[in-house]
Amino acid sequence: MARLRSLLVLCSAGLLLSAAPALSQTVQPLTSVPTAQAPAIPDPNSSAADLEKQGDALRAEKRYLDSIDFYNVALKKQPTALLWNKEGMSYLLLQHPEKAGKCFEQAIKLEKNAPEGYNNRGYVEQMKEKYDKAIRDYSKAIKLRPDDAVFHYNMASSYFSKHDYPTAAREYRSAYGLDPDIFDRVSRTGFMVQTPSPEDRAAFSFLVAKIYAQAGDLDRSLEYLRKAMENGYKNIKKVYTDSEFATLRTDPRFEELMAQRPQAIP
């Protein structure tokens, strides 16, 4: 672990991620390097619960290697699926998806009927662009907890990456139906689905605009419609024919936005 610590300082690895037990969003790289600190040493005499709390605190401070040290000692005392999931997230934050995946495998072995492990393993597969495997894991998570918007959102993002837009739209709608604020929540925290090109970002924004329009949330529909145009969506004329935008087309702000035709941002 000490050797790994020095290598990671040289690589200045770091990621942003939710602190929740289940991976709920896609992570994005940090733009700054965390300040080097003396390593924290876990007390082997501490209880598993105390070690877990200290690991959580260290992870919140972005001291991911230290958090792993504490989780490891806690796991030796009392192995739980939650601890394996937390250690896996710390590895993901250090850009070690293979090690993270092994942690999530252990979580699944301990609790086969807990959806978090499948969701998290699916996230690792999605990172590796193994979308079919990711979808299978997300499907298992959804079967175990069908009312979790995050699981539907994650599965939608895998279908979207495969350019299966109709199925992605269906799952995004399911996520929206369970949590109407999920797109805004993801956007505000910076955990938007990673899309490799402006074209894909444009298609995603147009799809979300359509979902909001169909739900009658015209303010957010217009917001995402603007984003689609700023990302250079090539089929913007569909907004005049797609039935989901029927109500939006009666809003004066729609005509104003389309008259402005925001230019694509390079």
Q: What is the pLDDT of residue 6?
A: 27
Burial label, 172 (beta-carbon count in 10 A; 0-12, 13-18, 19+): buried
pLDDT on residue 76: 96
pLDDT in tens, the chain (266 residues): 433 332 222 222 222 232 233 444 333 333 344 455 778 898 989 999 999 999 999 999 999 999 999 999 999 999 999 999 999 999 999 999 999 999 999 999 999 999 999 999 999 999 999 999 999 999 999 999 999 999 999 999 999 999 999 999 999 999 999 999 998 877 665 444 455 577 888 999 999 999 999 999 999 999 999 999 999 999 999 999 999 999 999 999 999 999 988 877 66
Confidence (pLDDT) at 196: 58
Which residues, in sequence order, are CB contacts of 187 under 8 Å at separation 6+?
A: none
pTM given for the model: 0.79
**pLDDT score recorded for residue 12:** 23
Looking at residue 38, its pLDDT comes to 76
In this prediction, residue 262 carries a pLDDT of: 81
- What is the rounded radius of gyration, in angstroms, for the C-alpha atoms of the chain? 21
Contacts of 179 (CB under 8 A, 6+ apart): 149, 185
Q: From CA 265, how far away is CA 75, in angstroms rounded?
A: 48
Please give the pLDDT value at position 4: 34
